Amino acid sequence: MFKNISLRIRIFLAMILLVLLASVLILGVTIYQYDEQTKDYNISRFARKEKSVISSIEFELKREFREPLSTETLGKIFQNRIYEIASTHKLNISIFDLEGNLIITSNTINSFDTKKEELALSGQVLEDLEDLPSHRVFSNVVINSISNETSYTYITDLKFKRIGVLELKFSQDNSDEEKELREFMIRLAYVYLFMFIIAIALAYFLSSYITRSIKTISDKIHKTRFNKRNEKIEFTSGSTEISTLVNAYNRMIDELQESAVKLAQSEREQAWREMAKQVAHEIKNPLTPMRLSVQSFERKFDPKDPNIKEKLKEFSQTLIQQIDVMSSIASAFSDFAKMPTQKREEIDVIEVVKLALDIFNEDYISYSYSDEKVIANLDKTQLIRIVTNLVTNATQATEGIENPKIQVYVSSENKTIKISVTDNGKGIDSSVEHLIFEPKFTTKSSGMGLGLPMIKKIIEAYNGSISFTSSKNVGTTFTVTLPKN
């Protein structure tokens, strides 16, 4: 389906999709960058707090150096001080022994509501503390916009001997940051919407501008015809590709014009050659009986014959008859060679067609019409010629047919007139249908095949048309369409 879309629409959609893709990418990068910055900020903030708490723990241990430092003394040393440190740094502090059992915690809620055994460290945390090179375990969990950071490190005495495990927990509410992000995204969405509207307008004008030159060339190509003079494209501005295409089209027009001239000249020469052959052939037909008549008369001529006058008269009539045939041949070719002169006069087509049919005596010719009167500006003589030619052909097509019928029908439709002549004759073979209006083609044993080509020229001179439908051994219908004005 995409292949059927025009180039202008493709460019337009491509530019819109590019803007949308860029907007989505920028939006995704913005959200990702915000999450990363928030996460990094919380971690770095917790790291600073962790460093300060560890410094405070080490200070307390040094201050209590008068007492032996051991796991058992940690609870006593930080019995009261742990709350002050936790309050100062706004986090929860818990101290465990090396087996993970809770010694003391600043989280009074857990210390009062839960047994110490239930607050012991997991074995996984103790293993990670032992295995990690930094001997520090850190986790960050976000629940309902609350970022929870937890770290575990060893507490050592002054000789760096491990005497306990320090747990620090810090909770950061990120709802304000997320609210700011939503507000920022809303403002960004308005900006994107405005940019999208501008992008649509810009894409429309750019796609139209890019394809305008191509459309100009396309329209010219669609109007290009072999049998008429075609205009070149005058294009002064455009890309190199468009200029190349225009130059190629203009060269094609030049070559097409040259080919049309050569073809027209060749067709005229061929037409005259064919016409000359036809004229020669038609003239030879009466010349042969004329020659035979003269030779016969020469052999049989006897001045003393009492019937010499009658024989001379018979001989003269034979020659005159053949001369008339030659004259009719010359007239037919002369009429075909020149375009019939259009003479427009207001006539009643119904009456003129009826007048044309009066010369036929066949009783199987019927005439009907849709209106009592149809007025048109046509040549009366030429219209009679059209009708008589079609009816004559129909009578010849029905020769030897049992119960022949010829129907002539005239109808008026809006600004046109239709004249149809239908017969039930032998029909036209489909193999020769394309030759019916060709000069010198005929399906009859006699005739020059100029009747239908002649009336076709007359009809086309009035901007009309002639067509036919035919079925073998069923009949033929010729339809003539002529404008009223």
User: Where does the pLDDT of residue 269 fall: very low under 50, low under 70, confident under 90, or very high at 90 and above?
Assistant: low
Residues 154-188 pLDDT 10s: 988 878 888 899 999 888 777 777 788 788 888 88
Supply the range of the domain harboring residue 124. 2-179
User: Where does the pLDDT of residue 317 fall: very low under 50, low under 70, confident under 90, or very high at 90 and above?
Assistant: confident
Among the residue ranges 23-27, 138-142, 300-304, 425-429, the one predicted with the least confidence is 300-304
Same structural domain for residues 296 and 429?
no
Q: Is the dihedral of CA 348, 352, 358, 364 positive or negative?
A: negative
The answer to whether residue 441 sits within a structural domain is yes
More confident residue, 29 or 212: 29
Same structural domain for residues 174 and 48?
yes
- Alpha carbon 177 to chain centroid distance? 50
Same structural domain for residues 306 and 405?
no
Residues 71-82 pLDDT 10s: 888 888 888 788
> Which of 308, 337, 366 is the C-terminal boundary of a domain?
337
Give yes or no for residue 338 having a pLDDT over 60: no
**Is the full-model pTM beyond 0.75?**
no
Same structural domain for residues 151 and 7?
yes
The answer to whether residue 286 sits within a structural domain is yes
Residue 36, exposed/middle/buried by CB under 10 A (0-12, 13-18, 19+)? exposed
- Pairing relationship of beta strands 406-413 and 365-369 according to DSSP bridges: parallel
Same structural domain for residues 27 and 166?
yes
Contact 207, 12 (CB under 8 A): yes
The answer to whether residue 33 sits within a structural domain is yes
Tell me the CATH number at 458: 3.30.565.10
Q: Which of 107, 95, 177, 165 is nearest to 136 (CA)?
A: 165
Same structural domain for residues 362 and 469?
yes
Residue 334, exposed/middle/buried by CB under 10 A (0-12, 13-18, 19+)? exposed
Same structural domain for residues 128 and 13?
yes
CA distance 325 to 318: 11
The answer to whether residue 280 sits within a structural domain is yes
Among the residue ranges 7-11, 188-192, 365-369, the one predicted with the least confidence is 7-11
Q: Is the dihedral of CA 205, 210, 212, 215 positive or negative?
A: negative
Same structural domain for residues 313 and 438?
no
User: Where does the pLDDT of residue 449 fall: very low under 50, low under 70, confident under 90, or very high at 90 and above?
Assistant: very low
User: Where does the pLDDT of residue 369 fall: very low under 50, low under 70, confident under 90, or very high at 90 and above?
Assistant: very high
The answer to whether residue 86 sits within a structural domain is yes
Residue reference for tokens 């180039």: 7
User: Where does the pLDDT of residue 366 fall: very low under 50, low under 70, confident under 90, or very high at 90 and above?
Assistant: very high
> Which of 297, 321, 337 is the C-terminal boundary of a domain?
337
Q: Which of 88, 125, 129, 94 is nearest to 108 (CA)?
A: 94
Give yes or no for residue 95 having a pLDDT over 70: yes
| DSSP structure string for 384-399 | HHHHHHHHHHHHHHTT
Give yes or no for residue 480 having a pLDDT over 90: yes
Helical (H) or strand (E) element with 137: strand 136-143
> Which of 303, 337, 371 is the C-terminal boundary of a domain?
337
Same structural domain for residues 368 and 391?
yes
The answer to whether residue 431 sits within a structural domain is yes
Tell me the CATH number at 284: 1.10.287
The answer to whether residue 201 sits within a structural domain is no
Same structural domain for residues 363 and 257?
no
Same structural domain for residues 321 and 360?
no
CA distance 445 to 424: 20
Domain count of the chain? 3
Same structural domain for residues 161 and 99?
yes
The answer to whether residue 220 sits within a structural domain is no
